[in-house]
Each structure stands twice: as C-alpha cells, then as structure tokens.
Chain A
Amino acid sequence: MPKQINVALIGNPNTGKTSVFNHLTGLNQQVGNYPGITVEKKEGICKLPRGLKAHIIDLPGTYSLNASSLDENLVIELLLNKNDKDYPDVAVVVSDVENLKRNLLLFTQIKDLGIPTILAVNMADRMERKGISLEIELLEKRLKTKIALVSARKKTGIENLKELITQYGTISTEPCVNSSSIDPTYFDRLRKAFPNQSLYKLWLVITQDVNFGNLNRNKIEHTNGFSPKKKSDLKRLQQKETIVRYQFINGILKEAMTVDVNAAKDLRSRLDRILTHKIWGYVIFFSIMLLIFQAIYDWSSYPMDFIDNTFASLSEWIKTSLPPGVFTNLISEGIIPGLGGIVIFIPQIAFLFFFISLLEESGYMSRVVFLMDRIMRRFGLSGKSVVPLVSGTACAIPAVMATRNIEDWKERLITILVVPFTTCSARLPVYLIIIALVIPDERFLGVFNLQGITLMLLYLLGFGMSVFSAWILNKILKIKSKTYFVIEMPDYKLPMLKNVGINVVEKTKSFVFGAGKIILAISIILWVLASYGPTDDFDNAEEIVTERYGENLAPKDFENQVASVKLENSYIGLMGKGIEPIVQPLGYDWKIGIAIVSSFAAREVFVGTLATIYSVGSGEEKTIKNRMAAEVNPILGGPLFNFASGISLLLFYAFAMQCMSTLAIVKKETNSWKWPILQLVIMTGIAYVAALAAFQFLK
C-alpha cells in the first residue's frame, strides 16, 4: 500500500463539502489556480490512521458529470484521466442529508466510473430535527459502498470518515446503474468498437466532448462499424440516463429513508417570506449593503491609517538609521511605500470577504440573486453582479475578486470590466479637494449643500456609467454563454466561523501574493522615474533654489523647494511637460499633467503629488487648497482651477482607469492582458473625451 493516497472530494454545491475539507486538512491546505484557467484549485494533506497520508483535492461543486461550466469540466477531466498525477485512488462524495436524493445522482455517476467511492452524508446532526431516518446498512448494500455519517458543524464522524478512507481498497468498484440500458444497441456497438474501455467512460467522452489520453469524441465516432448519433438524440439519451438513475435512487430511498413531512421546516418559509418580499426584501438588502459599505469604508479606515503611519515611520527610520545613498533611498522611498501600498488594502479586502462569506454561508446570497436577477439582466449582468458592483464603491480590487461567484463567463467578464467605474474610495480625496475649490459652499433651495450634491452626483455617475457600459458590452461582446439560469435556494444556516475565517485568509493571501507583486514592481519604477532626471538641472536643484530665493529660506521651505525643482526635472516631471499639449485642451497645466501621470499608479497619489509640486510640505489641505486656488492658467489667464477645469478634472477622475492594482487583479482574474489593456484604453479614452467636452463647453 502506498504511503500517500489521492482522495478527491466531490459533491453538489451547498453540501458543506468545503467544511468537510477544512476539517480533514485544517490549515494544511493551499489554494491555487488550475493551469491556464481561473478556477480555484484547493488541495491539502490529511493524516490518516496507521501512518497513512492523504492528498485531498476539493473539486469544484457540481450537480452531475454533465458539465456546463469550466469548473465542472475540470471534475470530469480529472476523473477520466488515469494518468493525471491527481487521479484519485478513492473518491468521497459529500452529500447533504436533506437533499440526499439529488446528491445520489452524482454519486451513482462517480461510482460507475469504477473509482472506489465513499458516501459521506453531511449535516447528520439535522436529521432528527428534520424528521429524517436512514437505514445505513441497507443503503450501503444497495449502493455497494461504505457510508460515513458526518456533521461538519458538530465535528462528528470525521474520524470515521478517515478510517473508511484508509480502507478504500475494500470498497467495491462495481457500478450501481447499468447505463447501457438507455439504448442497448448503441452501447453494444460501442462495446464492440472499444472492447477494452469502460462503457460509461466512453459515453462521457462522447457526450461531454472532453479528451483524455488518446481517446476523444472524434476518434470514437469515426471508428469503423460505429454510427454516431445526432446531438439532439444524444441529449435525449442523457435525459433518459438521468431518469433511469433517479428511478434507481427512488427505489432505494423508498426502502432506506423515511421522512416525517410534518417536521419543522417553517424557518425557511418564514424567513423567505420576509427576505424575498417585494418591498421588505429590497429594504433588508439595502440595509445590509449599507452596513457592509459602512464597515469597509469606515471601520477599515482605522487599520488603514495605522498601516499608513507604520510604513511612513518605517521609511523614516530606515532613512535615518541606514547610511545615506541610492540603496537606502530605494528601500525607504521605493520598496517600503510600495509594500505599504499593498498592505493598506488588506483591511478592506478582509472586511469585504468576511461579509461576503457570511452572506454565502448563511444562504442569504441566493435570495439576493433571486431578487436582483430580473433588474440586472436588462443590462447584460446577472443577479450575482450586485455584490461586486456595490463593493466597488470601497475598492475595485476586492470587487473584481468577488465576481468569482458568477458562473456565467460573459456575465462575469462584463461585471469585471464595468466595476472600476463605480466610485472607489481612492477617488474621494481627489473629489473632495476639487469640489472644495470649484463648487461654491452654498445651499440650494436653502437645504441642500451644493458641494454635497456634487459629491452624490459623482457617485450616481459612477453607478450609471457602469450599468450603461454593461449594457453596451452586452451588445458588443460575442461570447457564447449559458442562456438559462438555475440557482439552488439552499436552506438557511448559521455561518461556521472556521469556514469564514479560512476564506478571508485565503482571499487576502491571494491578493497580497498575486496583485502585490505587480504593485510593488510599479511603485519601484515610479520611484526611479521621480528620483532621477536626465538633465543637470535635476542634479543641481539645490543651487537653483539658492539662486532663485537667496540664502534666507527656512530649512523646511528650502527642502520643499528643492523637492519641487527635482520633481519638475525628473523623468516623471518631464513626462508631465511632455503631455502638456495633450492635457491643455482639458484646461490643465503641466503640473496637473504630472499628477495625472503619477495617478496612473493610484488615484490618491494626485493630492500628494500636487502637494509636492506646490511645495507644501505638511500636507495640510487648507494650504494646498490655497496654493491651488492661487494658480494661474498660463495660457487663458484667470485661475487655473475654475468651474470648467474643475468639472473637467472631476469627470476625468470619474471615468479614467487610473489604478495599477486594479489592472493587475483584472489580469489575474481574466488570465489575459487583453482585458486590462482594453479597460485602460477605453476608460481613459472616455475620460478624456468627457473632460474635453466639459472644459470646452464650460470655459
């Protein structure tokens, strides 16, 4: 017997399969992607009795082996390919006791593949309350397997399951259902053409169109003496197969399972009556969203400030304690702030995924999808796009990650593409300072503050733009996708904190190590561009300032002036000047140009960059604001920041794709540079046109 065996965990969604996985592996697990696609691959190691070890794969949830998504395809490909290094020695089908009938459909299919298959009946602790009783021995005999009653919630039965896994060699590999009975002549011909292959495997290769080894659908259907069937006939046969399997299952359950129909099941209906109500449903949903939004936005500001300050003082500390030089500067001005730029997103991501896991674990998410599907469908989105769009108001990065719940690739892609239009928190500092400059602090109709209304309009504009572009994308994108929609409405459950915790840790880790690398690289590049210049003026900044202002400047002011001259002559400064002709029609000068260029790393850099350029060291907004208000437009005269250029800037920041981190995560989630580059070009194009039109119209 080998020391380590491969175990595949398979099951319907919402059966608690992942909880069982978490119990078996603990934190001894890792989440990656399957090569080339963005389906999550979860695997872990589990210690079994008698020194044996199991390598466990948590396969994506599926209702059957008839694949309709990328995730489900994966399950079949693994189970059909004996040469795969992950090919299971034993499969564990995790089922939910309340939906045993439906869960057994998948079980009978796996069993027919000739893999030793154990049935784990989860949520066994709910049996009594739901009035369900099972005759395990009879079930084991009829299903030709071993059954473990487990409760992931109460943590019972897990040891028994481990014991059964070690004894996998004793489990019968005989099939339960004779699938060839659905069309004996067809299967007979199949048997004659491929005497050495399992009939059910051949059938799956034909109907699922997957390749394994040297067998594929084409090869089978073009073998001598074998006449292929039409697609619609095959589908009819698949339906027949499903019906035959259900007949088998119904027969067994009639004997082995009794359900007391009067047992309590009104928690579901009572909650459903409120949560999917045509008025209350929306009220509750929006209240929950408000709470989540508040949490991500408000609560995470404390840890974010802390992180910000910690990294700032770390930079300062390194600067003072290491000998001065390029290397010290690279660490203190490039790498440390770069790392800070990654770590600072952790609170928002962790909070968001904490709430999303709570909503999913409790079963509420399916109700939201149910409520919102009709409305979202008008725009080419799905009910499942709501959560990413709302969380985009905090930050587009976790929002893009949250689209993983959307199974339909087209709907998911559209959601990913339009999410960055929603007003994220990084736009807020930019909005606030520009609004303060160009919108009068007056009341409209005596009640509404004009500045407040402008801010609200900007949020609405963000939402409106994402929905509108979704509608356009839906018309343009020619992606074949499922035209139907089936979603399970699971029973309400109290979320298990262990699952929520593991999910939060996994998602955060995947952000830090995935997108983090790119953010770090970009910040180092930006640092280099801002710290070096090609001309003598850059190197002689001190002399230039002394020449301009004499010797009498206070040390603080002197440093600020030097920094300003250096920035002006650095590579990034020259880029700002270089793009001046492009930004002039929008009403900006080269200084705003620099701020915009550096904003492409992250929008919030805008205010900081302007602060440096206008030589305001302390970062007090009031002073920046005053300096900005005093700037004169070099060509048109008059204040640089007036109503026209202000609105133009606001529109530019509302639409432009100025966030390297978002581009990095979109690249990761779509597994291609095509979509983030399109996003960058199109969004920035829209921003430019909108800003141009606004300035030219208003000036």
Chain B
Amino acid sequence: MTIADLKRGQRGIIKTFENDNVPLKLLEMGCLPGNEVELVQIAPFKDPLYLNINGSHLAIRRDTAMQIEIEVVK
C-alpha cells in the first residue's frame, strides 16, 4: 500500500520507498521512513495530493505518492 491509496483523513506510517524514484527534496521536507503521514486533501482529478507529514504540509503529484510505501494507522 502506498500514500496514493490513502483516503482523505486517513493516516499511515512511511515504510520504505524506491530510493531512486523519490526526490531527495521530499526527504528533506520530512518524508522519511518511520514518520506519520496524513492525507489532508485530494485535488480534483485525483491529483496532486495534499499531505501532512509529521507537521510538514506539502502537496505532491500522484506518481510520486505511488512510490512511497506505508502502513495504515487504524
């Protein structure tokens, strides 16, 4: 399961990701394994995705979100 599979308001813990496909910038903005991610909002046409990662609010495109594996927090 990846960030792209989250529903609005749902949370997950970042597991791992395909290293080479995820921009370093995303890591620097707090998107690191072990951090919690919440899907705040989905833009119309389902792209981009508005996330809250450990207090850092950012939007990424769906194809990037599909690279980031998570485990859903119930």
Contact = CB atoms under 8 A, between A and B. Distances in A.
A63 B31 CA distance: 13
B48 A485 contact: yes
B73 to A, nearest CB: 15
A373 B64 CA distance: 14
Contact of A489 (B26, B59, B61): B59
Nearest to A66: B24
B64 to A, nearest CB: 5
Given A102-B29, A239-B27, A489 B20 contact: no
A242 B32 contact: yes
Nearest to A378: B45
B60 A485 contact: yes
Nearest to B48: A373
Given A235-B20, A272-B40, A371-B43, A66 B55 contact: no
B62 to A, nearest CB: 9
B71 to A, nearest CB: 18
Contacts of B32: 242-243, 246
A238 B26 CA distance: 12
Contacts of A243: 27, 32-33
A579 B64 CA distance: 54
Contact of B41 (A238, A272, A369): A272
Contacts of B33: 243
Contact of A486 (B19, B44, B55, B58): B58
A242 B24 CA distance: 9
Contact of B56 (A99, A273, A370, A485): A99
Contact of B48 (A64, A66, A370): A370
Contact of A370 (B19, B43, B64): B43
Contacts, number: 111
B54 interface: yes
Contacts of A491: 57
Interface in A359-379: 366, 369-371, 373-375
A68 interface: yes
Task: Classify the secondary structure of A's interface with B.
Answer: helix
A278 B44 contact: yes
Contacts of B19: 232, 235-236, 239
Contacts of A66: 24-25, 28
B23 A484 contact: yes
A476 B13 CA distance: 41
A490 B58 CA distance: 8
A366 B40 contact: no
B64 A485 contact: yes
Nearest to A259: B55
Contact of B47 (A99, A269, A374): A374
A488 B54 contact: no
B64 A374 contact: no
A105 interface: yes
B30 A101 contact: yes
A98 interface: yes
A63 B61 contact: no
A474 interface: no
A160 to B, nearest CB: 27
A374 B25 contact: no
Given A235-B24, A269-B40, A375-B45, A63 B55 contact: no
B27 A374 contact: no
B23 A68 contact: yes
Interface in A54-109: 63-64, 66, 68, 98-99, 101-102, 105
Interface string A488-511: 111100000000000000000000
Contacts of B57: 268, 488-491
Interface in A281-295: 281-282
Interface in A653-681: none
B59 A239 contact: no
A99 B50 CA distance: 17
A373 B24 CA distance: 21
B28 A276 contact: no
A239 B58 CA distance: 19
Given A102-B30, A239-B19, A242-B28, A276 B60 contact: no
A305 B30 CA distance: 52
A56 B41 CA distance: 39
A370 B55 contact: no
Interface of B: 19-20, 23-30, 32-33, 40-41, 43-48, 50, 54-61, 64
Interface of A: 63-64, 66, 68, 98-99, 101-102, 105, 232, 235-236, 238-239, 242-243, 246, 268-269, 272-273, 276, 278, 281-282, 366, 369-371, 373-375, 482, 484-491
Given A235-B19, A373-B59, 5 more contacts: A64-B25, A101-B54, A268-B57, A272-B41, A486-B25
Instruction: Please provide the 8 A-B residue pairs with the shortest distance between their CB atoms, ordered closest to farther.
Output: A489-B57, A374-B45, A278-B44, A64-B28, A374-B47, A484-B23, A242-B27, A485-B61
